[in-house]
């Protein structure tokens, strides 16, 4: 038994030195202090890294089909009234949505950017058509206007060319005009009045759009309904001077937000030069899946963007507005949160302690032997 213990004792890789042979130096104390501080800092850093999750990134081909895309936006137009602003979407599959009103809120802004009024019924770009004639059709060019009284005519020759004339005809019949929004004359006069009232105002629009996951565009077009009607409204001659589409993008994202996402257009602002025109953003959307530590998956998107201004002083004259053209990358990015293992953490701690201890020992030995050699040469008279 004693022989086995002696052999085991011979395997000791850490031979002990008698304390009488220890020699402590000032340089050794300084090196020890510095090494202890370094080890402490590395220990704190490694511990923090252990408690924070790491994110692994992987790229795969996007094979998803038939999905929808949610576009979240918050954009301010300081020089376009809410009455004249419409939102449209178009994609390469032929799906089109004009004058979108649902899931969108608009806020009227004064010249200083303060909110005058906020409405949730939708953005509702201005829609004004040719006047409705008595015979049921729309007023043609060169034709004399004779508006319908909606059944309240006292004779076949009677015309109602204004909202007040319709109201008076209904009053004479003893009828109640319960819904003036359905009366063409009232709708037209209300539109003109709203445009005149909101002249000089701005508009903030925010909400979301739900579109197909194919290439397309969505755009904010001021005065679209007025120009498409191709009629002459003298009270609105100010619109023929063009629109100032200066805008600020407070927020623009595709899909659900996830940790670490960067939306490059958040806070972007553009000021229109002297002439009007069309401002275009060309967006490349990258499908993204983010998986957190609990295994919960967030299907979202990232995007990159370039931009271009198309001057309006060309023929054919482009429609004024702000256009966002989007396309999709065939590559999908997958982010996965992962916790570091305890064994990996302990291994790094051992590496820190052993590494700092070894390096500090080499430095201390170099200083000690250097001082010793220098002192010996001084004693021999080589240094004075």
> What's the pLDDT at 19?
64
Measured between alpha carbons, how far is 358 from 85 in angstroms, rounded to an integer?
71
Under a CB-based contact definition with an 8 Å cutoff, are residues 202 and 78 in contact?
yes
**SS3 sequence of 14-81:** CCCCCHHHCCCCHHHHHHHHHHHHHHHHHHHHHHHHHHCCEEEEEEEECCCCCCEEEEEEEEEECCCC
β partners of residue 216: 91, 326
What is the pLDDT averaged over residues 56-64? 91
What is the pLDDT averaged over residues 8-22? 66
As a whole number, the mean pLDDT across the chain is 80
Share of the chain above pLDDT 90, in %: 28
Measured between alpha carbons, how far is 310 from 279 in angstroms, rounded to an integer?
6
14: Cβ–Cβ under 8 A, 6 or more apart, which residues?
none
For the stretch 149-186, pLDDT in tens is 887 888 877 888 777 788 778 878 877 666 666 777 77
Q: How far is CA 130 from CA 74, 164, 256, in A?
A: 33, 19, 43
The model carries a pTM of 0.65
Measured between alpha carbons, how far is 208 from 383 in angstroms, rounded to an integer?
83
For the stretch 269-302, pLDDT in tens is 999 876 678 899 999 999 999 998 888 999 999 9
């Amino acid at each position: 038994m004693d022989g086995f213990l002696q052999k085991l004792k011979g395997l000791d890789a850490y031979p002990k030195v008698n304390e009488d042979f220890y020699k402590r130096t000032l340089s050794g104390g300084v090196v020890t202090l510095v090494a202890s501080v370094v080890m402490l800092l590395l220990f704190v850093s490694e511990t923090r890294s252990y408690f924070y999750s790491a994110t692994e990134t992987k790229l795969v081909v996007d094979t998803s089909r038939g999905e929808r895309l949610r576009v979240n936006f918050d954009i301010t137009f300081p020089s376009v009234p809410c009455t004249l602003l419409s939102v449209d979407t178009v994609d390469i599959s032929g799906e089109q949505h004009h004058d979108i009103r649902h899931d969108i809120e608009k806020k009227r802004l004064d010249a200083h950017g303060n909110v005058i009024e906020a409405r949730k019924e939708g953005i509702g770009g201005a829609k004004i058509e040719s006047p409705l004639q008595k015979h049921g059709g729309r007023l043609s060019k060169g034709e004399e206007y004779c508006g319908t009284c909606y059944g309240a005519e006292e004779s076949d020759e009677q015309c109602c060319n204004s909202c007040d004339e319709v109201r008076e005809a209904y009053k004479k019949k003893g009828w109640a005009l319960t819904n003036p929004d359905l009366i063409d004359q009232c709708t037209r006069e209300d539109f003109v009045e709203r445009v005149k009232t909101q002249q000089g105002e701005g508009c903030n629009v925010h909400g979301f759009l739900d579109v197909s996951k194919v290439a397309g565009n969505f755009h904010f077009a001021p005065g679209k309904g007025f120009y498409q009607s191709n009629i002459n409204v003298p009270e609105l001659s100010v619109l023929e001077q063009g629109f100032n589409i200066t805008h600020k993008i407070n927020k623009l994202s595709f899909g659900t937000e996830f940790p670490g996402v960067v939306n490059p257009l958040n806070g972007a602002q553009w000021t229109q030069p002297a002439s009007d025109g069309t401002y275009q953003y060309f967006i490349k959307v990258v499908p993204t899946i983010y998986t957190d530590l609990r295994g919960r998956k967030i299907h979202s998107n990232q995007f990159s963007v370039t931009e271009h201004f198309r001057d309006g002083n060309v023929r054919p004259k482009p429609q004024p507005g702000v256009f966002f053209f989007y396309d999709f990358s065939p590559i999908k990015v997958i982010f996965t949160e992962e916790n570091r293992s305890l064994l990996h953490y302990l291994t790094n701690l051992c590496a820190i302690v052993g590494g700092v201890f070894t390096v500090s020992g080499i430095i201390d030995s170099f200083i000690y032997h250097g001082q010793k050699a220098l002192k010996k040469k001084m004693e021999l008279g080589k240094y004075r």
